[in-house]
Amino acid sequence: MKIVFAYKDKLPASYVAFLTELIPPSFTIEHIPFSASDSAFERTLAEADAALFTPSGKYLPSPAFGDRLKLIQLLSSGYEKFNVAGAAAKGIPVANNGGANATAVAEHTILLMLSLLRRLNEHNERGRAGLSMHENYGMDMHTLAGKTVGIIGHGRVGTAVAEKLMCLGARILAYDIQAVPHRTSLPDLLKESDIVTLHVRLNPETAGMFGKNEFATMKKGAFFINTARAELVDQSALIRALSGNKKEPAHLAGAGLDVVQDKRRIDPTFRAHPRVIITPHIAGATRDTYARAMAHAVANFERVAQGEPPLSVINGVSPHHITK
């Protein structure tokens, strides 16, 4: 079975080598960078049984997928930038990583919460400068235990966040279109939560779902966390909610963001705010996550090689389409 391994050019060679070594030698591997032309992809994929994309940001026109592919495997969870519909039109299943990144993203989400509650940015600087505890003696810091955390989106990541938070003594509220534990209405969640964290997939229905009204409904002095996608949030509304003045203090106390719009030009409000933490989309980026994602991918390659349907298919191609 031949597998085409397509990857973003800027990925380090050690990363690509690490992933490649996790594919059993019984499979033939051919590498191709994202910078290759669509015609190069078409020629390469025409001779492959399956393809692995990392990350999923390479958009290919439907003809480039060819007629031989039995599976397109994405190493990521998100797939909004991939031509999922085009693959479906060709009868090719597209699978994501099956939640391999859920634990890492959940841990990072809670890391942001704790960092905000304990003012980690400020106290890291004080510690490095050899200064003692701030003169307010911790009166502006809080524990996570006892806080109400509102989780918007209760899929694999949201569920993992809830499970870990309950172990830390937090009260959980959840909003999801499905019936899930701790479910409540979105307005009630926003009004009651000390921290609101967003874990929703980006699609045309969810883009911009969190804006002026949602921030205004949140409890005054609450924190906002986003480790999902920047496009889910009206960034201007978030900046206004974080910006106070002499007459009126900021509505939100702070924000922890793993995703922002236009990350090359971070808004000055974000840069200057003492309780805004921004990380460069690293929530799911751990060696352990990559290993779990590759284990899932290899299991799918083996299933397809044996004529079985792959797991975690996201484009609705039914099992009978995979036999060619």
**Residue pair 208/196 in contact by the 8 Å Cβ criterion:** no
- Averaged pLDDT for residues 252-276: 91
319: confidence class by pLDDT, cuts 50, 70, 90: low
306: confidence class by pLDDT, cuts 50, 70, 90: very high
Question: What CATH number has the domain bearing residue 316?
Answer: 3.40.50.720
* Pairing label, strands 171-175, 195-198: unpaired
Do both 121 and 268 map to the same domain? yes
- Which of 48, 54, 83, 52 has the alpha carbon at shortest distance from 66? 48
**What separation in angstroms does the CA of 323 have from each of 27, 90, 98, 308?**
18, 13, 22, 9
Do both 196 and 225 map to the same domain? yes
The pLDDT, as a whole number, for residue 269 is 87
- Averaged pLDDT for residues 121-150: 92
pLDDT at 320 over 50: no
Do both 155 and 225 map to the same domain? yes
Do both 126 and 92 map to the same domain? no
Q: Which domain holds residue 269?
A: 102-278
The interaxial angle of helices 287-305 and 13-21, nearest 10 deg, is 40
Do both 114 and 247 map to the same domain? yes
- Averaged pLDDT for residues 240-248: 85
Angle at 241 between CA 238 and CA 243, to 5 degrees: 110
76-90, 117-131, 185-199, 258-272 — which is least confidently predicted?
Answer: 258-272
Please give the share of the chain, as a percent, with pLDDT higher than 70. Answer: 98
The pLDDT, as a whole number, for residue 57 is 87
- Averaged pLDDT for residues 187-203: 97
Task: Provide the domain count of the chain.
Answer: 2
Q: What Rg do the C-alpha atoms of the chain give, in angstroms?
A: 22
Q: Which two tokens stand for residue 304?
A: 């397809």
Do both 267 and 135 map to the same domain? yes
Do both 229 and 274 map to the same domain? yes
Q: Is 108 exposed, middle or buried (0-12, 13-18, 19+ CB in 10 A)?
A: buried
For 7-50, how does the pLDDT look when each residue is reduced to its tens digit (9 = 90+)?
A: 999 999 999 999 999 999 999 999 999 999 999 999 999 999 99
218: confidence class by pLDDT, cuts 50, 70, 90: very high
For 272-301, how does the pLDDT look when each residue is reduced to its tens digit (9 = 90+)?
A: 898 999 999 999 999 999 999 999 999 999
82-96, 248-262, 280-294, 308-322 — which is least confidently predicted?
Answer: 308-322
pLDDT at 323 over 60: no
Do both 71 and 168 map to the same domain? no
Q: Which two tokens stand for residue 298?
A: 């290899």
Do both 166 and 261 map to the same domain? yes
Rounded to the nearest integer, the mean pLDDT of the chain is 94
pLDDT at 324 over 60: no
Do both 66 and 112 map to the same domain? no
pLDDT at 58 over 60: yes
Do both 79 and 127 map to the same domain? no
Do both 41 and 137 map to the same domain? no
